[in-house]
Amino acid sequence: MLNTFMQSRLRGLVILALILVILPAFLGNPFHYELVTQMAIIAATVVGLNLLVGFAGQISLGHAGFFGLGAYFTGIATGTYGWSSVPALVVGAIVVGAIAWIVGRPILRLKGHYLSMATLAVGFIIAIILNNERALTGGPDGMPVPAFEIFGWELSAFGRYSLFGITIEGFQAWYIFASVVLLVAVWFALNLIESPIGRALRSVHGSEVAASVVGVNTAKYKSLVFVISAIYASLMGSLYAHFQGFITPAVASFEFSILFITMVVLGGMGSTFGVILGAVVLKLLPQVLADFQELEHVMFGLILMLTMIFMPKGLLPTLTAFVSKKMRKKAGGEA
Amino acid sequence: MTALVEVKGLDKAFGGVHAVEGVSFSVEAGQVYSVIGPNGAGKTTLFNLITGLYTPTKGEILLNGESTAKLEPNELAERGMCRTFQQMQICMNMTAIENVMLGRHLQLKSSLFTTLFRLPSLRRNEAAARKRAAELMEYVGCGDYLDAEASAMSYGALKRLEIARALAAEPKVILLDEPAAGLNAVETAALEDLIRKIADQGTTVMLVEHDMKLVMGISDRLLVLNYGRVLAEGTPEEIRQNPDVIAAYLGG
Ligand SMILES: Nc1ncnc2c1ncn2[C@@H]1O[C@H](COP(=O)(O)OP(=O)(O)OP(=O)(O)O)[C@@H](O)[C@H]1O
Ligand SMILES: [Mg+2]
């Protein structure tokens, strides 16, 4: 029975859930919780980006733009106009999805460097708008965002809540919330990949002509996955804004876009759990190397380059291949 | 009776090179129709035109009486046309059986909602598609590779896998571009059986092939191209006796 479980398609998801359940035992203070909650939100974003980059073989160097749009839509709708969080998040995702569809149709005809440049430009334009629309966004100084609110109930990192008779701190509640969101994001991604739609997406990567002659409308599927990944980014941007309580245009910046892509490439393009590992490593790295903060961007560039040269499949797939090779060797030795 | 595929005055020029020039012919449903000719004669270009990957410079192609001029390859697939490639087009980022299941794309419509929640209807359809794909892989003779990564398969197995993928689409007409290239004698014999089986089930087959024994044995009609133009058209017997063909192509 354990065996069938280990081969089942949800194995990874169950392992991730276990890790998320056990993890609090190792989290000493609110700062740790904050870091891990950010990790989960960013990880869910790159799980969405990986659908576009890892599975459909397209690229977006402007994905922080969609993340930032989601964050600011939530910030403005809840902060300035007093919307409730859930409608803000949903309407924001629909608006961002529509924007992604409109810009995606023409630019996804481009390939390689041209597509990189076009998506880069999309990210830049969004960042510039967020910087310049001071009346709406507060400009470069940023804007405060109210706590996440649902049915009049507020989820604040500084609150204190009673859950099934147990009192938990706000940052712990956020950790639970973000964990559930990550698990759902991963579950959706896994379901999507292993479906007719997912095969069509992967075939766009594998061979666009093969896809088209068996009836896949490649342009439609590229747009679809671009929109889906933008919606992932928008939703996570919205949550990020609530969690941080304050946002600046940095959330839509080029640096953030590159960080996302580096997480995907480092963790393993086309590996849903790999890119989560990528997010964890790249969120941890600046903590470990706090003394080299000004070199952060150089470091990310270096990581991106070194991964592509020495570990093109990414961290997790390379590790799994290594481990299974070792195990095979061992099994072979015993036989 | 209208032909299944009708080609009228087809021209394709790449810059100064006329790869296909003034080509006309028609293929009746149920036939095995072969296109032969020396290297560079324009056979692959002709297939690319018929399947919508290239746009003709001049001329017209009708599928079941409908002009294909404005149709994309995927829309032609919807109308029952599928093909394999001389330069194999396999999705190396998938397993073997997933490649074949991809061929069932048009039969497997499911909404995004159904997909994200993996509702029972999707699971049922996937299981059925998988079963069908496994049968097809068995049928073309690569049943040993079901869950192998496509990148781990041999050349001959990949060629058959590509045919299985095309068959999975349940096409009315299947175009095979040099399916025997690179195969040994045993594999070629197996391929001949396979093409016969496909034709016997009522699927129209268009074939580009250099292996004369295979082509002459299996075809109902042949089109001979030379430098992009039609040199001859007819039954294998007529082609064998055609003086132009003998002079220019069969070499004596
Ligand atoms: N995309 C292209 N761009 C430019 N020239 C092309 C292109 N495709 C084919 N050609 C040219 O058109 C001519 C016919 O090529 P094609 O590939 O159709 O020949 P073929 O009959 O399939 O040959 P083979 O038996 O070698 O496969 C050749 O001269 C080739 O160089
Ligand atoms: Mg050819």
- The total number of structural domains in chain A stands at 1
Nearest CA in chain A to B53: A209
Which of B82, B93, B98 is closest, CB to CB, to A213?
A: B82
User: Cβ of B165 and A214 within 8 Å?
Assistant: yes
Residues B156 and B231 in one domain: no
- Residue A92 to residue A86: CA distance in whole angstroms: 10
Question: Domain with A61 in it: what CATH number?
Answer: 1.10.3470
* pLDDT, position A70: 98
Residue finishing a domain among B120, B142, B170: B170
Distances in Å between the alpha carbon of A308 and those of A264, A268, A281?
11, 10, 16
Residues B187 and B240 in one domain: yes
Q: Using one digit for the tens of pLDDT, what is the confidence trace for A85-108?
A: 999 999 999 999 999 999 999 999
User: Cβ of B77 and A212 within 8 Å?
Assistant: yes
This model of the complex carries an ipTM of 0.92
| DSSP, residue by residue, A225-251 | HHHHHHHHHHHHHHHHHHHHSEE-GGG
User: Is residue A330 one of the residues assigned to a domain?
Assistant: no
Residues B124 and B8 in one domain: no
In this model, does residue A295 exceed pLDDT 90?
Answer: no
Contacts of B239 by beta carbon, 8 Å cutoff, 6+ apart: B216, B222, B224, B232, B245
| DSSP, residue by residue, B131-188 | HHHHHHHHHHT-GGGTTSBGGGS-HHHHHHHHHHHHHHT--SEEEEESTTTT--HHHH
Residues B44 and B104 in one domain: no
* pLDDT, position A9: 79
Number of A/B CB contacts below 8 angstroms equals 105
Angle at A296 between CA A294 and CA A297, to 5 degrees: 105
Domain range enclosing A237: 2-296
User: Is residue A322 one of the residues assigned to a domain?
Assistant: no
Minimum CA distance residue for ligand 1 atom 8: B45
Residues B175 and B252 in one domain: yes
Residues B181 and B59 in one domain: yes
* pLDDT, position B2: 75
User: Cβ of B91 and A215 within 8 Å?
Assistant: no
Q: Within an 8 Å CB–CB cutoff, is residue B170 touching chain A?
A: no
User: Is residue A174 one of the residues assigned to a domain?
Assistant: yes
What's the DSSP call for residue B109? -
In this model, does residue A3 exceed pLDDT 70?
Answer: no
* pLDDT, position B252: 43
What mean pLDDT is reported for chain B? 94
Q: Report which of residues B24 and A293 the model is more confident about.
A: B24
**B170 Ramachandran zone, left/alpha/beta (phi>0; psi -120 to 50):** left
Q: How many angstroms separate the CA of residue A211 from the nearest CA in chain B?
A: 8
* Dist. CA B154 → ligand 1 center (Å): 26
Q: Residue A67 corresponds to which tokens in the numbers above?
A: 């993340």
The proportion of chain A whose per-residue pLDDT surpasses 70, expressed as a percent, equals 96
* Dist. CA B43 → ligand 2 center (Å): 5
Which of A192, A195, A210 is closest, CB to CB, to B90?
A: A210
* pLDDT, position A5: 58
Sequence letter at residue A259: L
Residues B220 and B240 in one domain: yes
Q: Which of A260, A259, A261, A277 is nearest to A316 (CA)?
A: A277
Q: Within an 8 Å CB–CB cutoff, is residue B55 touching chain A?
A: no
Q: Residue A153 corresponds to which tokens in the numbers above?
A: 């109930």
Residue finishing a domain among B116, B139, B170: B170
Residues B117 and B45 in one domain: no
Q: Which residue has the tokens 């990414």?
A: A314
Residue finishing a domain among B153, B170, B187: B170
Q: Using one digit for the tens of pLDDT, what is the confidence trace for A273-292?
A: 999 999 999 999 888 777 77
User: Is residue A127 one of the residues assigned to a domain?
Assistant: yes
Q: Using one digit for the tens of pLDDT, what is the confidence trace for B3-44?
A: 999 999 999 999 989 999 999 999 999 999 999 999 999 999
Residues B178 and B60 in one domain: yes
Sequence letter at residue A134: R
User: Cβ of A216 and B105 within 8 Å?
Assistant: yes
Q: What is the pTM of this model?
A: 0.93
Radius of gyration of the CA atoms of chain A, in A = 20
Q: How many angstroms separate the CA of residue A214 from the nearest CA in chain B?
A: 5
Q: Using one digit for the tens of pLDDT, what is the confidence trace for A184-215?
A: 999 999 999 999 999 999 999 999 999 999 99
What's the DSSP call for residue A147? P
Overall average pLDDT of the B224-249 stretch: 91
User: Is residue A324 one of the residues assigned to a domain?
Assistant: no
In this model, does residue A7 exceed pLDDT 70?
Answer: no
User: Cβ of B83 and A213 within 8 Å?
Assistant: yes
Q: Among the listed ranges A3-12, A92-101, B128-137, B221-230, which one has the minimum average pLDDT value?
A: A3-12
Question: Domain with B195 in it: what CATH number?
Answer: 3.40.50.300
* pLDDT, position A320: 87
Residues B73 and B187 in one domain: yes
Residues B96 and B165 in one domain: yes
Q: Is the Cβ–Cβ distance between A290 and A242 less than 8 Å?
A: no
Q: Is the Cβ–Cβ distance between A72 and A210 less than 8 Å?
A: no
- The total number of structural domains in chain B stands at 2
User: Cβ of A191 and B93 within 8 Å?
Assistant: no
Beta carbon of B223 within 6 Å of any ligand 1 atom: no
Q: Using one digit for the tens of pLDDT, what is the confidence trace for A253-280?
A: 999 999 999 999 999 999 999 999 999 9
In this model, does residue B61 exceed pLDDT 70?
Answer: yes
Beta carbon of B20 within 6 Å of any ligand 1 atom: no
What mean pLDDT is reported for chain A? 92
* Dist. CA B37 → ligand 2 center (Å): 10
What's the DSSP call for residue B4? S
User: Is residue A329 one of the residues assigned to a domain?
Assistant: no
Q: Among the listed ranges A160-169, B180-189, B196-205, which one has the minimum average pLDDT value?
A: A160-169
In this model, does residue A334 exceed pLDDT 70?
Answer: no
Q: Using one digit for the tens of pLDDT, what is the confidence trace for A221-234?
A: 999 999 999 999 99
Sequence letter at residue B124: R
* pLDDT, position A1: 52
In this model, does residue B223 exceed pLDDT 60?
Answer: yes
Domain range enclosing B122: 89-170
* pLDDT, position A331: 72
* pLDDT, position B84: 97
* pLDDT, position A328: 80
* pLDDT, position A335: 41
Residues B155 and B177 in one domain: no
- Residue A287 to residue A244: CA distance in whole angstroms: 18
